Structure 1
């Protein structure tokens, strides 16, 4: 008999046109013919109707932005094209939002023409796809001002969408650039859970919230320097806590390649294990949201300490309070940490023989069984996936059990892996956070983070995780 678990909450899944839109602290029903409050657009699936061209909705056609008629009789594709998942602005900013289409592309301006494009992760790309919500021309409507070109607004011009200055056709401009926020014509995207390019997520439940610590992605050669933290109470709505550690100015022994962090808690402090220039360091903070400070002034595990790359740390703390550190690329290592969480006995390091092992060990315990899961193949390969083994102690021996997460080309999921696992605080409900290629055209340096539920069979083996697009 399988575990009795609840489904992961979803965004934009509905059976009727009615939708409750959360605007600030106000709950307001937004149905066809009813406008949302001005100057803010809640996250989630939304459709935007032109104020002065009733029945025409903001949409994309062949990746170009338009306003076109959409009705209940319109086809499925047209309804999807007129539905966007609203997210916090990719470039940040109070009151700013971004719009993601069903295929994963983002609405942005390029040479002031609105179109769909991939999230390249660059400063320019993020800014071009960020719009700040302003009051519309009539009460209850909203306008979208460019985040990086203040004074330019999204407007329709001969049904095409452009980013124009407010001095253009001043008699009609305000109405041409105003939209009603409507219930979505179709379901919005549920993933990725972090809006942007991120990878190697470590998920944990800390201080009453779920936290995710990822690699900041989108850089050639994985050359990013910043670590960020995100938190949530429901695994759907995430708070961005900003940069919690910047390797460049904050770590004396490294300057780049900030990868694959992990978090642990002990005696009132949080310990942040991170990769930098293929070493493993550790930083500490009194808050899971940081900021974190390099604790040693040197690597905890230096490059060359053992064969393979000294990367991809993970920490497991057993029921007796003993913590273990796992790491490695090419070879899998583990060691018991000293109580200070900052040192270990180098002579006690264990090497595991794991079939197909590449990187990204992660250990957890359930009903007395220890589970060690890890990534197989290269993160640049669409065949990157997760396998696992079970054991009777945190250091094995390990029995290989097979694959639990793999690609699904029918929904565009490629290269899912470098995962972590967390248990809900309310029962035997488990979730896996992992990255995959960005949809629709990502690769090994343009990846996105998502979270899916993990289920167990009656004998304790793990069912294959069903990836979401």
Structure 2
């Protein structure tokens, strides 16, 4: 090849590589991953997703970390069914929180269909975000259906007063309960009830809550997770208990980009930027388990409402959490 042409080609590839590194791209990492729980630990963004596969193969968790939303490091098999003796299959929908220099990882397992089956929502603990994790209880934390909610899709939330709450539920029902400080069980509410239903209109699964300007933003997924109609809706409430009145849809399919955008989480960075981390299906792919993890910017109207998110192929520019 002509030396000049070789030099031009090399420069072109370098510029292309540099341009690619300026944004995260979507998906943000390789592989079939869904239900991403994104959170900032120690000035890094961590994503804990479901390994998206048939339920008999969905038996472990990987994690991913990034200092800038663009470059990601994979942490393989932070734990699996060998570490959780009661979990046999279908491990998914994680939620994680740090407390007293320990990391508590909540997850669903076994896809139980009634109160007589073994499984539900468990919790594991580790000294580092990447593990190794061990079973905190040796049994599920929630193993029964309360108010019709399948014990899946949990989210742990710390309120401003230092209280920890657990919000969860599938089968179109959502419950809230107050966690004990050591996460080994629950504290009944003042009326003696331990699990309260707070299901908003349209709710299917995948609850997530964040607080902004004194208001609780309650978010959830609607539609079927294997289909193109999967989407995220939200409410804004004065209290965590609600009522959570549906405002509208803020994340959904784009026929030019991807389908079934849903089951998300939100991160807030030091420069007051908000990002939504979610999964979607590649265009034209008919396998329901083929889901990829993506990130896009989330912005607000002057009145605090969330603007509809534009899902992209480019993802987001580099930003330190």
Partner of residue 244, structure 2 = 398
Deviations 1:226-269 (A, max 9, x none): 1011100111110111111102x111112110101010111111
1:185, distance to aligned residue in structure 2 (A): 9.6
Unmatched segments (≥5 aa) in structure 1: 1-29, 36-45, 48-181
**Alignment CA distance shift 1:382-1:319 (3 Å):** same
Partner of residue 190, structure 1 = 25
> Is 1:332 aligned to 2:167, yes or no?
no
Aligned to 2:263, which of 418, 434, 448?
A: 418
Q: Normalising to structure 2: TM-score of the pair?
A: 0.86
1:206, distance to aligned residue in structure 2 (A): 0.8
Partner of residue 32, structure 1 = 8
> Is 1:251 aligned to 2:84, yes or no?
yes
SS of equivalent residue, structure 1 residue 416 = strand
Q: Normalising to structure 1: TM-score of the pair?
A: 0.59
Partner of residue 64, structure 2 = 230
Aligned to 2:50, which of 210, 215, 219?
A: 215
Deviations 1:153-187 (A, max 9, x none): xxxxxxxxxxxxxxxxxxxxxxxxxxxxx554997
SS of equivalent residue, structure 1 residue 260 = strand
1:440, distance to aligned residue in structure 2 (A): 4.6
Spell out the pairing of 1:36-435 with structure 2 (5 A cutoff).
183-184=15-16, 190-217=25-52, 219-221=53-55, 223-247=57-81, 249-278=82-111, 279-329=120-170, 330-345=172-187, 347-411=193-257, 413-424=258-269, 426-435=270-279
**Alignment CA distance shift 1:319-1:410 (3 Å):** same
Partner of residue 106, structure 1 = none
**Alignment CA distance shift 1:196-1:398 (3 Å):** same
SS of equivalent residue, structure 1 residue 304 = coil
Structure-2 separation of matches of 1:245 and 1:450 = 23
Question: After alignment, is 207-216 or 347-356 more displaced?
Answer: 347-356
Question: After alignment, is 228-237 or 342-351 more displaced?
Answer: 342-351
Structure-2 separation of matches of 1:433 and 1:342 = 29
After superposition, the CA RMSD in angstroms is 2.1
Structure-2 separation of matches of 1:458 and 1:32 = 48
1:322, distance to aligned residue in structure 2 (A): 0.9
Moved over 4 A (4+): 185-189
Structure-2 separation of matches of 1:460 and 1:266 = 30
The answer to whether the 8 Å contact 2:232/2:252 transfers is yes
